[in-house]
Amino acid sequence: MVEHPAEPLASTLAEKVDQQLRQKYADVAMPGNRKVAADIERQTGRRLSGAYIAQLRNGTQTNPTSHTLQILADFFGVHPGYFAAVTPAPGDGSYGAAREAIVDGTVQAINARLMDASVETRRAALAAVEFVLQHDERHRQGEQRRP
């Protein structure tokens, strides 16, 4: 997976595609949709039309197939789940931290590494994450008590 610098969290599919394109082509002028389509085909061996890329970028195409999401994910080096809608739960104070983790790629990287793992391995990873979070919480509480 490609690590990306933190940017504001994109919420719509169009914003996510645009954000990934800016990162992919950060060192060159932003190409047109036909060039992006050609680059996708060259890199992945699968085809999306320039017109379809335009629809993704301008927000008129908001419900691509899982096949299309996989092509985009392979091209950008992210998990297909990256393109899913991100909707905060109202009043959920933990959303900010989750949002930051998603933006910096950590959650995506962990998720991608565990995709093909066994159920037992995924459960062990979850237990390890819970342990680390509990340790972090105890550490933060200890810092708050100090004068």
Q: Where are the domains of the chain?
A: 13-83, 95-145
- Residues 50, 73: contact at Cβ < 8 Å? no
The domain covering 13-83 belongs, at the CATH homologous superfamily level, to lambda repressor-like DNA-binding domains (1.10.260.40)
Output the six-digit token pair for 69.
Answer: 């999401």
Closest CA to 78 of 24, 117, 11, 15: 24
Identify how many contiguous H helices and E strands the chain contains and give both numbers. 7, 0
Specify the pTM.
0.56
CA 13 to chain centre: 11
Q: What is the mean pLDDT of each run of 10 residues along the chain (147 residues)?
A: 52 89 92 97 97 96 89 90 63 58 65 78 81 80 67
Which residues are CB-contacts of 115 (< 8 A; sequence separation ≥ 6)? 79
